[in-house]
Amino acid sequence: MSTGCVVCRSRKVRCDRNSPTCHNCTRLGVNCPGYGDTTAILSHKDGSRQRLQDSVDFIYRASGVEKRRVGSCDECRRTKSRCSRTRPVCKRCTRKGFTCKYNAKYDASASASAADANAAAAAGSPSPQPSTTAETSILAAPSDGGGLVSTPGSQSGTMAVPLSSIPQHMHWVYSDALPQDKFHLQALADLFFDRISTLRCLGFIHKPTFFQALDRGTLSEDFGEAVVYIVAALGARMYLLDDPSHFNNPFLGVPGAAWAERARDLTMREIANPSLSTMMAMVLICEYSIFMDQHALAFVIFGCCVRIMRLLGLDSPKKAAVPSGLAHMTHLETERRLLWSCYLLDSFLGGGVDGNLIWKDDFPSVPLPCSDASFVAQEQYADFEAPKLSAFELYPDRSYLNLRSHTIYLVQLRTRVLRLIRNNNQQVNIWDPGSPFLDIIQRLEVWYAGLPERLVISDFNVYIHKELNTISAVFMLHFLYHSIVCDLTRVSLPGYVFPLSAAFHSCPPEFRRQCQERCRFHADEISRLVHAGFGYGIRAFDDLHSLMATFESTKIQIIHTATATSNSIDIRERTSHNIRLNMRALDILHLQKDKANPYHKALIPLLEKFDFNNVVAEWQAYPSPISINSDQAEVTGPEDAAYLSSLAPFRLAKEEIRAQIRQRRGSSPAGNDLPNSPAMVRPPPIISLPQKDALDGISGADGNAGLLGSASFSLDHIQLASTTHPTPPGAGGLDVAAEIQGGVAKEMVNLSDLSEDYIRMAGEMANYISWDMSEPQPWLDFDMSSNNI
């Protein structure tokens, strides 16, 4: 017979018999009854269990503590904490901000009470209100008796949707708890490793080790609960992207959203004892937060990632131990990939603003990631064999550098571009040979010319990358390349008043024209990428940068057509075709259907202002034309926002905070008062104009010839694109010109005489092209939910 105190005996836990009170009673806050009365209480066989229970109840009441009973919520049961058992949310979960859920088998009495209440109501007699039960089962998605199920994304279960509206075979995706059967959990893990792990540098989880732990049932012990939850959440998000007909419903929430919240809670709980698994979870939570437009959360979590990275010393070069085992090499590669993931996040979240960047002029000195095949196979390699970013441009043959290494190199150039356009402190004219402006263009051309054949987007290569699950990563690489050139050369267009734009005020007109044409050329190439990507499925757009690149490409094509061309009908028809394609892509890829599409909210007024009314009419996004108030609009971001675009994560994060403050104060948003950028110009020198050949067709070029063609270049003369842009090929090889003729109104007015007016308008609208969509003005309050496309 146990000699522990009656409290420990009733709870069936080990008692340490400390004097004067045991540890368990001290933790529970009750007066320990000691160890001498247990035998006396249990001396009578009849009713001995009841005597024990009554004695324990008396001890709890005397101590003023509510006893934790059977039927506690899952969170309190898991942590062995006291639960108030209040419905629908217990006091502890309310205080801690946890997701409170009760197991259905403990709610039999509540269900019976609800049935009695319904019967009493039918008889016309008053009855107390039954307590609301929460969703509990993973696979069956039980209801509350009325055919309703609580869904993730609703606050504290306040929103319920008909159970019949959720596909029967996908109920488990909306559960608060992870699936218990290995089949569903493995399906989520497969989606993560096939669709998420291949992006950027997110492949830091060793796949064979993960699935081995899954088979053994030791995932939580080996990787941590937070990692398991966020891996499942990112995998579940792919269901939303792949099957919008079932999952694009604002009332259902987002598949796996509750798992992501759970991962965030677990990570914050572990932040006092940071580890490599904690950092893994945080990096993935950052990515998920950006997917879900939670930019403030992404900024905060990323700040924690950076501090953990420094604490763990991931940014310090490490050499493999001698002799080094396979496990050590895998651990070392995991650390390197985590560090490079932080580097890429820093660039995308920082947006080129020095105050937001951790790495400005420098970058990590650790080796670049090895190939995925080597990582999976745990192949050993010497440190001198691992390439570094500092030596990337020194390799004459870059064919052995993997996809992730090329992505990191382009992201480093992107950071340089975004920092360059935000200052005008150039020591030389931008049109002079050797200027930072032309130096970056030259580096990009050298990179593109030396791109390995396997990374070129061709019809055959696409099927290879689909088989390797890298199609989205390859498309992202090309989106990134074209968007970098657009970011650099867009400052030559009217309305883009970055500080570097002042350098174009005194440049030779031919140089400015060629920069504008180069910008337009790459903007068109992004539209061609979109067209090609949809020919191979939605997986080509898994990376969110494709969305931002498409948005910026659309703006550039609108402004360039209106201000830098003759505005002839043929040119506008070609532009309208690309805009329709981009608008459709932005509609499909915007998954938050319960929110207005921010990309359309920015582009539709811009289209209407520059007389692309045929495109506006096709979308039928609002009932009447919108009059643009130039005092409330912006072309580029204000100076106090470091000229960031309105879709930049930092501006969106700040607006989230401002919106919360306004909500608490009950105030309304105020209009922006944006200053103009000062213009400092230099006298133009005598220059030699750069040259660049336009792309050939699908298969008419050498070198990197592929689906998107190729560009020949010279290091001495960089030729900018001509005004003739190739028409994107159809997915089935059909000429798209017929589609253009059929999609544009024949009675379009010739606007060739309005070019000067458009240039003046773009200058006056220096507050509009990338106006702050996160804080739309009252005149832009219209319904964007129309499906009439």
Q: What tokens does 616 get?
A: 């506006």
pLDDT surpasses 70 at 740? no
Q: Which residues of 683-712 are buried (b: 16+ CB within 10 A; e: fewer)?
A: eeeeeeebebebbeebeebeebbbbbbbbb
d(C-alpha 262, C-alpha 256), whole Å: 10
* Least confident span in 235-244, 293-302, 338-347, 742-751: 742-751
CA distance 228 to 232: 6
Residues paired with residue 150 on neighbouring β-strands, in sequence order: 160
Q: Can you tell me the distance from the alpha carbon of 721 to that of 521, in angstroms, rounded to the nearest whole number?
A: 6
Q: Which two tokens stand for residue 245?
A: 């007909």
CATH of domain 6-63: 4.10.240
Averaged pLDDT of the chain: 74
Token couple for 736:
């798209």
> How far apart, in whole angstroms, are the C-alpha atoms of residue 341 and residue 338?
5
For 634, phi then psi, to 5°, come to -150, 140
Do residues 75 and 93 make contact, with C-beta atoms less than 8 angstroms apart? Answer: yes
Q: What is the Cα–Cα distance from 520 to 22, expressed in whole angstroms?
A: 76
Identify the residue whose tokens are 């509990």.
136
Report the SS3 class of residue 160.
strand
pLDDT of residue 701: 36
Q: Which residue has the tokens 């390859």?
A: 474
DSSP 585-601: HHHHH---TTS--HHHH
Residue 20: cis peptide before it, omega within 30 degrees of 0: yes
Tens-place pLDDT, residues 189-229? 999 999 999 998 999 999 999 999 999 989 998 999 999 99
Distance, CA of 339 to CA of 325 (rounded, Å): 22
Portion of the chain with pLDDT greater than 90, in percent: 35
Whether residue 127 is predicted with pLDDT greater than 70 in this model: the reply is: no
- Residue 295 and residue 199: Cα distance in Å, rounded? 19
Shared fold status for 6-63 and 74-122: yes
Other Cβ atoms closer than 10 A to 249: 16
Say whether pLDDT at 679 is over 60.
no
Element holding 150 (H helix, E strand): strand 148-150
Residue 338: strand pairing partners? none
Which one, of 606, 562, 560, lies nearest residue 583 by Cα?
Answer: 606
Q: What is the DSSP letter of 225?
A: H
Burial 292-313 (b: 16+ CB within 10 A, else e): bbbbbbbbebbebbbebbeebe
Token pair listed for 302: 């990323």
Which secondary structure element, helix H or strand E, spans residue 148, and what is its range? strand 148-150
pTM over 0.75: no
Check residue 275 and give its pLDDT. Answer: 92
Q: Which residue has the tokens 């992505």?
A: 407
pLDDT at 292: 85
Distances (CA, A) of 789 to 30, 580, 585: 67, 9, 12
Range scoring the smallest mean pLDDT among 86-100, 161-175, 432-446: 161-175
- The CATH number, out of the four listed (3.40.190, 3.40.50, 4.10.240, 1.20.120), of the domain defined by the range 74-122: 4.10.240
Question: What distance in Å separates the CA atoms of residue 520 and residue 528, rounded to the nearest whole number?
Answer: 12
- What pLDDT does residue 74 have? 80
Instruction: Indicate whether 36 pLDDT > 80.
Output: no
Task: List pLDDT tens digits, range 133-155.
Answer: 322 232 233 333 333 333 333 33
Residue of 69 and 388 predicted with greater confidence: 388
296-300, 377-381, 541-545, 764-768: least confidently modelled range: 764-768
Domain locations in the chain as residue ranges: 6-63, 74-122, 173-385, 421-681+758-780
Return left, alpha or beta for 644; rule: phi > 0 is left, psi -120 to 50 is alpha, else beta.
Answer: beta
Which segments of 253-369 does DSSP mark as H helices, in order? 257-269, 276-291, 295-312, 326-350
For the cut 90, the answer to whether the pLDDT of residue 126 exceeds it is no
**CA-CA distance, 58 to 575, in Å (whole number)?**
81
**Is pLDDT larger for residue 476 or for residue 690?**
476
pLDDT exceeds 80 at position 299? yes
Alpha carbon distance 476, 483 (integer Å): 10
